[in-house]
């Protein structure tokens, strides 16, 4: 290859290294949870009192790499200046999308270090400029360079010259890199759990020497014999580096060293068991006794021993209403729509029906009796402290309060849908994946630059083994074909927009994925994805808003709707829709999973009972099964042009929620596990 020469496979098996003891910080059960009796409504259990990571006392930084997550504990007592230096780069997101640029044996028979922290992940050659570096920090050689430690890198004979770069020790380098070698190197962190399995996998990849750069031992993957240049798809990368807590917080990003896995009760309908942050809430639904099992888990799949305990709901517990969820405080843009929600249970609803009354600053709000309070076109007069009161014939209960702030925002700051994606199985002919989306509304003018992709073969780089071999993408407006693509062939505009919107790179210009870069007027569109031949498999359909933030105005068209119809196989098949909310303030979305109601449109074999689950990252935010004809959801659906669902007896699912900016996933499954045709829809509510 021109400019790139493979240095050969690092064939060492790492038997010696992998036989060493595991690192500390594995999830541990410290105390069993005793049996619980719910005789006064919900019970909350602090899981930090029952689980932990023994010996972990320092700050933790989590690396998300191409091959998995690595959690590192800082050693601030032994290396305070180097820890502070490293954390300063982490705080600036300086390590995001950077190369793991060196795997070196240091003269040994097996790889000894994995080095990174110096260079952005850009195409090579030419040589990239290093990331911006702060002033060097002095040597703090106090800890040996044993396997599983993280050390500061410096140039030869410059022991006080460490800046941004670091390296993992994959073997004991206490002698090879001790104080007699260039003054030694500062150890400032240690790998937790089984994160070294990720570092070992990186160390065992092939390496390449790239002419005209400093990279002579660059770990690479998926390099073909015809390549003339390395691209990010060939690299081992640190995608993000973030400080994380030991336990997940109750609000904000749920990423933490430990998370919790709760096995739902075997007897359905007696309690709900939910985890928010590090708090397990057990809520009574009906009289009876069930078992609940809880484990702690880490990012590498290690779990603690389980604690299993019984939960009893005695007859006398089902009295006045009890709130199972409470409204959340929001700061929203003036003129937007916001939804506050609070759900209560209490008694048998057929005997003691629930009613809801929303309050603002202690005064009743004129709104329907509903667990939802929908406020449209909010202004400063809507700001205040809100709560919900639930009543039945047995008594009443008041939710916790939530504060609503309303702020004036520039158009580009207002929360909005900026990326919509569907991943499911597709094929040819009747297995075509059909994705619909809408641009703009009656307040919008002009055109919307979009990036639309049908990803099949490039999914292999994420471990998807059954990817659709050769997707063909067709974009329609009504019955008119707007654009079509078979193989993207390295299209320059597609590549540029992919970088602009942050889409992952295709595996190369020869990849058989499909993509188009278009400018669309206001209206509704349909994307069809099928295989060029007779193949079938998993495909990802993506629609990206490519409008630069600085160009967004009050009347700029937006992505306002995504829908996809696909067939769910029997058993555990899922239809997965991802969406991203951009801007700096929350946005309100209506999400629907439609099955039985499709029969009215002549759809054969619809899913009998779809369930809808909403996630942010790996944390489940909520789930709904049967929507039960909630009047405000029905009204909003009609206002935005969505077809009506039956007001009573519907097995379809619908969810109305206000969400802060971020990435979300909606999953549709079939409760009956029989499979069939399902429709998932995501609407922005303005």
For residue 2, give the nearest of 228, 329, 167, 321 by alpha carbon: 228
Which pLDDT belongs to residue 228? Answer: 78
| pLDDT tens profile 24-77 | 789 999 999 999 998 766 889 999 999 999 999 999 999 999 999 999 999 999
Contact partners, residue 18, CB within 8 Å, separation at least 6:
197, 200
Same structural domain for residues 561 and 581? no
287/313 Cα distance (integer angstroms)? 5
Q: Determine which helix (DSSP H) or strand (DSSP E) holds 82, and give its type and residue range.
A: helix 80-91
| pLDDT tens profile 456-515 | 999 998 888 889 999 999 999 988 999 999 999 999 999 999 999 989 999 999 999 999
For residue 678, give the nearest of 563, 590, 580, 578 by alpha carbon: 563
654/672 Cα distance (integer angstroms)? 18
For residue 284, give both structure tokens. Answer: 């009574």
562/546 Cα distance (integer angstroms)? 16
Same structural domain for residues 267 and 215? no
Q: Which of 192, 219, 243 is the last residue of a domain?
A: 243
Contact partners, residue 462, CB within 8 Å, separation at least 6:
none
Same structural domain for residues 273 and 229? no
Q: What is the mean pLDDT of the chain?
A: 88
Q: Which domain holds residue 42?
A: 31-53+246-317
Contact partners, residue 226, CB within 8 Å, separation at least 6:
1, 510
pLDDT above 90 (res 202): yes
Same structural domain for residues 190 and 251? no
51/29 Cα distance (integer angstroms)? 5
> Out of 7-16, 427-436, 604-613, which region has the weakest mean confidence (pLDDT)?
7-16
Q: Which of 294, 317, 340 is the last residue of a domain?
A: 317
**What CATH number is attached to the domain comprising 654?**
2.60.120.380
Same structural domain for residues 631 and 665? yes
Structural domains counted in the chain: 5
Same structural domain for residues 235 and 342? no
Same structural domain for residues 134 and 226? yes
Strands (E), 468-573: 471-477, 480-485, 514-521, 523-531, 537-545, 559-568
**What CATH number is attached to the domain comprising 233?**
2.40.100.10
Q: Which of 508, 536, 566 is the last residue of a domain?
A: 566
Same structural domain for residues 422 and 391? no
Please tell me which of 4-8, 65-69, 464-468, 561-565 the model is most confident about, judged by mean pLDDT.
Answer: 65-69
**What CATH number is attached to the domain comprising 265?**
2.60.40.10
Same structural domain for residues 49 and 62? no
Contact partners, residue 76, CB within 8 Å, separation at least 6:
58, 59, 83, 84, 188
Which pLDDT belongs to residue 628? Answer: 76
For residue 262, give both structure tokens. Answer: 């709760």
422/668 Cα distance (integer angstroms)? 11
| pLDDT tens profile 327-363 | 999 999 999 999 999 988 775 555 567 899 999 999 9
Same structural domain for residues 613 and 469? no
Same structural domain for residues 561 and 583? no
Percent of the chain with pLDDT over 70: 93
Which pLDDT belongs to residue 191? Answer: 96
Whole-prediction pTM value? Answer: 0.57
Same structural domain for residues 178 and 154? yes
pLDDT above 80 (res 369): yes
């Amino acid at each position: 290859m021109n400019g790139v020469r493979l240095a050969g496979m690092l064939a060492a098996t790492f038997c010696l290294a992998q036989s060493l003891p595991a690192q500390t910080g594995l999830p541990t059960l410290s105390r069993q949870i005793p049996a619980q009796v719910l005789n006064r409504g919900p019970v909350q259990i602090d899981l930090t009192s029952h689980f932990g990571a023994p010996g972990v006392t320092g700050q933790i930084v989590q690396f998300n790499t191409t091959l998995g997550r690595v959690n590192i504990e800082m050693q601030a007592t032994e290396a305070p200046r180097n820890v502070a230096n490293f954390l300063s780069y982490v705080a600036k997101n300086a390590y995001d999308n950077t190369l793991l640029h060196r795997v070196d044996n240091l003269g040994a028979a097996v790889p000894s270090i994995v080095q990174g922290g110096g260079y952005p992940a850009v195409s090579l050659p030419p040589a990239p400029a290093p990331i911006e570096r702060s002033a060097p920090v002095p040597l703090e050689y106090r800890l040996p360079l044993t396997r599983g430690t993280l050390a500061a890198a410096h140039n030869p004979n410059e022991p006080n010259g460490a800046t941004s770069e670091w390296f993992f020790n994959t073997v004991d380098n206490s002698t090879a890199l001790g104080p007699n070698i260039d003054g030694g190197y500062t150890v400032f962190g240690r790998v937790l759990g089984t994160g070294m399995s990720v570092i070992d996998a990186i160390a065992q990849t092939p390496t390449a020497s790239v002419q005209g750069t400093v990279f002579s031992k660059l770990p690479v993957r998926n390099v073909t014999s015809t390549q003339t240049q390395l691209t990010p798809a060939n690299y081992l990368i640190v995608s993000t580096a973030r400080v994380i807590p030991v336990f997940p917080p109750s609000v904000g990003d749920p990423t933490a060293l430990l998370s919790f896995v709760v096995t739902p009760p075997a007897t359905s309908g007696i309690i709900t068991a939910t985890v928010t942050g590090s708090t397990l809430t057990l809520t009574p639904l009906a009289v009876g006794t069930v078992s609940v099992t809880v484990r702690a888990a880490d990012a590498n799949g290690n779990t603690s021993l389980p604690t299993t305990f019984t939960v009893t709901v005695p007859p006398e517990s089902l009295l006045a209403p009890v709130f199972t969820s409470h409204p959340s405080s929001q700061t929203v843009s003036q003129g937007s729509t916001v939804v506050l929600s609070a759900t209560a249970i209490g008694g048998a609803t057929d005997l003691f029906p629930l009613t809801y009354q929303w309050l603002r600053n202690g005064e009743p709000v004129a709104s329907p009796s509903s667990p939802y309070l929908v406020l449209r076109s909010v202004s400063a007069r809507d700001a205040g402290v809100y709560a919900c009161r639930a009543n039945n014939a047995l008594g009443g209960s008041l939710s916790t309060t939530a504060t609503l702030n309303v702020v004036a925002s520039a158009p580009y700051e207002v929360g909005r849908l900026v990326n919509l994606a569907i991943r499911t199985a597709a094929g040819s002919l009747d297995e075509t994946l059909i994705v619909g989306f809408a641009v703009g509304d009656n307040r919008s003018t002009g055109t919307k630059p979009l990036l639309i992709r049908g990803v099949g073969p490039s999914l292999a780089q994420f471990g998807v083994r059954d990817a659709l071999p050769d997707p063909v993408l067709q974009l329609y407006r009504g019955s008119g074909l707007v654009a079509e693509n078979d193989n993207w062939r390295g299209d320059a505009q597609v590549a540029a927009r992919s970088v602009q919107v942050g889409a992952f790179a295709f595996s190369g210009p020869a990849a058989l994925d499909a993509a188009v870069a278009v400018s669309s007027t206001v209206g509704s569109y349909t994307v069809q994805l099928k295989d060029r031949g007779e193949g079938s498999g998993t495909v990802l359909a993506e629609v990206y808003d490519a409008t630069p933030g600085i160009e967004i105005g009050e009347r700029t068209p937006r992505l306002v709707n995504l829908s996809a119809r696909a067939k769910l196989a029997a058993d555990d098949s899922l239809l997965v829709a991802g969406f991203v909310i951009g801007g700096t303030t929350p946005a309100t979305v209506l999400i629907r999973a439609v099955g039985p109601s499709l029969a009215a449109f002549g759809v054969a074999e619809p899913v009998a009972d779809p369930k809808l689950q909403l996630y942010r990252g790996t944390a489940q935010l909520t789930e709904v099964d049967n929507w039960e004809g909630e009047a405000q959801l029905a009204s909003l659906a009609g206002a935005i042009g969505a077809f009506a669902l039956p007001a009573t007896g519907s097995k379809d699912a619908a969810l109305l929620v206000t969400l802060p900016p971020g990435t979300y996933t909606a999953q549709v499954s079939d409760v009956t596990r029989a499979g069939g045709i399902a429709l998932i829809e995501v609407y922005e509510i303005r």
